[in-house]
Amino acid sequence: MSAVKQNRILIFGAGVIGSIYAMKFMEAGFDVSLFARSDRFRALQEKGLQYNDKGTVRTIPVKVMDTLENDDIYDFIFVTVRYDRAESALLALKDNQSPNIVTMTNSSIGFSSWRRIVGDRLLPAFPGFGGQIKDGVLYARFMPKLLVATTFGEMNGAVTQRIVKLSQVFQAAKLPYAIKKNMQAYLITHSVSDIALLGGLYSGHRMTDPVTPGTRQTARQITVTLKAYLKAIRKAGVAVDPPFFKIVPKLPSCMLDLLFIAWLRTNMVKDMLLPDYANAANQEVVQLENDLTKFLTMQNG
């Protein structure tokens, strides 16, 4: 394990996802730095990484920076920003000499624009948890391990040396992970579910009513959008993954409506309706949908 623990890791983006990975990797004994900006940078510098542990606020000191030198080399840089900010984050990392850049975000269009910026250093991935930061304190929300794991894989599907090395990092941090052969298909499918769920949630909610919109109307909108886009990506030749989504277009709409009504009434959705989260997530969904439309047009053109 000692070889693994010498890894230097940079987390580029200190929101919920970046903060959780930083915490878990530090606990595992890695040399971790966090890249943050403005208020978040100052808060981390002054107070350390604050997190909620079963009702108690705990703090871990963290190395934090707001500028990165090109010759400051890390084994892995994890880019933990929203999809609509991914390109500008990669442009900021373009001249840094680190060999592996792990993008922890959705993509509804594939990797060609990101690859133009950072080349084959790009390693697509997707995080396995969520939560919120409230008054500077991280509230992590871990899903059941059977349901959600951090997912990653090479763009060409090969199990390379760096995939093995990254797996060892996750093993050491005791974080569940899955290696995918076709990350593009996985991320496009995931984008479709986010566009349907979050798009339905925010358009049906208008972000003003404090009561969770557990309405049949919102649920029906999610069902219709999800079915339509799953059929469209399949028609465009995307291998729908996870495979469960292949059967969704064939399920009765009323059954899916009930499932989404139940989801709309969860605590997770209450978190997602908080104004800061909702506004940011809404911007991300708009860009995901625009890019998915572009992708489908290109495939069918």
Alpha-carbon distance 218 to 54, whole Å? 33
Average pLDDT rounded to a whole number, residues 74-99: 96
pLDDT in tens, 256-295: 999 999 988 887 788 788 887 888 888 999 999 999 999 9
pLDDT attached to residue 211: 52
- What are the pLDDT digits (tens) for 176-227? 999 999 999 999 999 999 999 999 888 765 544 545 445 889 999 999 999 9
Q: What is the pLDDT of residues 119-173, one digit of tens each?
A: 999 999 999 888 888 888 998 887 665 567 999 999 999 999 999 999 999 999 9
- Give the CA angle between residues 131, 137, 140 to the nearest 5°: 25
- The Cα-based distances of 62 to 40, 44, 128 in angstroms read 12, 7, 22
Higher-pLDDT residue of 34 and 200 is 34
Mean pLDDT score, 43-67: 94
pLDDT value of residue 56: 93
Contacts of 165 (CB under 8 A, 6+ apart): 4, 7, 75
Lookup result for tokens 């069918």: 300
- Give percent of the chain above pLDDT 90: 75
Dist CA 14 CA 228 (whole Å): 35
